[in-house]
Amino acid sequence: MLKLKYSILVIKTVLIILFFLCLLKMPYGFYELVRFIALIGFAYLAYHANQQNNNTATIIYAALALLFQPFFKIALGRDLWNIVDVVVAIGLLITLFANKQITNSK
Protein backbone atom coordinates (compact mmCIF):
# COMPACT_ATOMS: atom_id res chain seq x y z
CA MET A 1 0.00 0.00 0.00
CA LEU A 2 2.84 2.39 0.84
CA LYS A 3 4.50 1.62 -2.49
CA LEU A 4 1.25 2.50 -4.30
CA LYS A 5 0.94 5.83 -2.45
CA TYR A 6 4.58 6.60 -3.23
CA SER A 7 4.08 5.91 -6.94
CA ILE A 8 1.04 8.19 -7.04
CA LEU A 9 3.04 10.90 -5.26
CA VAL A 10 5.87 10.55 -7.79
CA ILE A 11 3.51 10.63 -10.79
CA LYS A 12 1.71 13.74 -9.56
CA THR A 13 4.99 15.49 -8.71
CA VAL A 14 6.51 14.73 -12.12
CA LEU A 15 3.37 15.95 -13.88
CA ILE A 16 3.33 19.16 -11.84
CA ILE A 17 6.96 19.89 -12.71
CA LEU A 18 6.41 19.12 -16.41
CA PHE A 19 3.31 21.33 -16.63
CA PHE A 20 5.15 24.26 -15.08
CA LEU A 21 8.10 23.67 -17.43
CA CYS A 22 5.64 23.95 -20.32
CA LEU A 23 5.34 27.65 -19.48
CA LEU A 24 8.92 28.13 -20.68
CA LYS A 25 9.91 28.28 -24.32
CA MET A 26 10.87 24.68 -25.05
CA PRO A 27 11.41 22.68 -28.25
CA TYR A 28 8.24 21.22 -29.78
CA GLY A 29 9.43 17.68 -28.97
CA PHE A 30 9.31 18.50 -25.26
CA TYR A 31 5.60 19.29 -25.46
CA GLU A 32 5.00 16.02 -27.31
CA LEU A 33 6.87 14.16 -24.56
CA VAL A 34 4.81 15.93 -21.89
CA ARG A 35 1.59 14.90 -23.68
CA PHE A 36 2.69 11.27 -23.78
CA ILE A 37 3.82 11.23 -20.15
CA ALA A 38 0.58 12.99 -19.10
CA LEU A 39 -1.48 10.39 -20.96
CA ILE A 40 0.26 7.55 -19.16
CA GLY A 41 0.24 9.34 -15.79
CA PHE A 42 -3.41 10.33 -15.90
CA ALA A 43 -4.44 6.90 -17.17
CA TYR A 44 -2.66 5.32 -14.20
CA LEU A 45 -4.24 7.80 -11.80
CA ALA A 46 -7.68 7.09 -13.31
CA TYR A 47 -7.11 3.35 -12.92
CA HIS A 48 -6.04 3.78 -9.30
CA ALA A 49 -9.01 6.06 -8.53
CA ASN A 50 -11.31 3.48 -10.11
CA GLN A 51 -9.81 0.76 -7.90
CA GLN A 52 -10.57 2.97 -4.89
CA ASN A 53 -14.18 3.43 -6.12
CA ASN A 54 -13.62 7.19 -6.45
CA ASN A 55 -15.81 7.83 -9.49
CA THR A 56 -15.30 11.60 -9.56
CA ALA A 57 -11.51 11.32 -9.61
CA THR A 58 -11.71 8.53 -12.19
CA ILE A 59 -13.71 10.72 -14.56
CA ILE A 60 -11.46 13.74 -14.03
CA TYR A 61 -8.24 11.80 -14.59
CA ALA A 62 -9.67 9.99 -17.63
CA ALA A 63 -10.79 13.31 -19.12
CA LEU A 64 -7.32 14.77 -18.52
CA ALA A 65 -5.75 11.71 -20.16
CA LEU A 66 -7.93 12.33 -23.21
CA LEU A 67 -7.16 16.05 -23.22
CA PHE A 68 -3.40 15.55 -23.12
CA GLN A 69 -3.16 12.46 -25.35
CA PRO A 70 -0.73 13.04 -28.27
CA PHE A 71 -2.50 11.06 -31.00
CA PHE A 72 -5.55 13.20 -31.82
CA LYS A 73 -4.36 16.62 -30.76
CA ILE A 74 -6.69 19.28 -29.46
CA ALA A 75 -5.48 22.60 -30.83
CA LEU A 76 -6.03 25.19 -28.11
CA GLY A 77 -3.21 27.60 -28.92
CA ARG A 78 -0.19 28.30 -26.75
CA ASP A 79 -1.86 30.81 -24.42
CA LEU A 80 -4.82 28.56 -23.64
CA TRP A 81 -2.57 25.51 -23.21
CA ASN A 82 -0.50 27.53 -20.71
CA ILE A 83 -3.66 28.26 -18.72
CA VAL A 84 -4.67 24.59 -18.85
CA ASP A 85 -1.18 23.54 -17.71
CA VAL A 86 -1.25 25.90 -14.73
CA VAL A 87 -4.80 24.95 -13.69
CA VAL A 88 -4.04 21.23 -13.90
CA ALA A 89 -0.72 21.62 -12.05
CA ILE A 90 -2.42 23.58 -9.26
CA GLY A 91 -5.20 20.98 -9.12
CA LEU A 92 -2.62 18.22 -8.74
CA LEU A 93 -0.87 20.22 -6.01
CA ILE A 94 -4.17 20.54 -4.16
CA THR A 95 -4.75 16.79 -4.38
CA LEU A 96 -1.26 16.16 -3.00
CA PHE A 97 -1.85 18.33 0.06
CA ALA A 98 -5.45 17.18 0.53
CA ASN A 99 -4.38 13.53 0.49
CA LYS A 100 -1.53 14.27 2.90
CA GLN A 101 -3.88 15.96 5.38
CA ILE A 102 -6.38 13.09 5.16
CA THR A 103 -3.59 10.56 5.77
CA ASN A 104 -2.22 12.54 8.73
CA SER A 105 -5.65 12.86 10.36
CA LYS A 106 -6.21 9.07 10.36
Closest CA to 95 of 1, 11, 18: 11
Residue 86 has pLDDT above 90, yes or no: yes
Residue 73 CA, distance from chain mean position: 17
The per-residue pLDDT for 74 is 78
Residue 106 has pLDDT above 60, yes or no: no
Using alpha carbons, list the distances in angstroms from residue 16 to 1, 8, 42, 45, 103.
Answer: 23, 12, 12, 14, 21
Residue 44 has pLDDT above 60, yes or no: yes
Q: What is the percent of the chain with per-residue pLDDT over 70, rounded to a whole number?
A: 89
Work out how many domains the chain is built from and give that number.
1
For the stretch 7-19, pLDDT in tens is: 888 999 999 999 9
- Read off the pTM: 0.84
Could you give the CA distance from residue 81 to residue 32 in angstroms, rounded to a whole number? Answer: 13
The per-residue pLDDT for 3 is 67
Q: Which domain holds residue 27?
A: 2-105
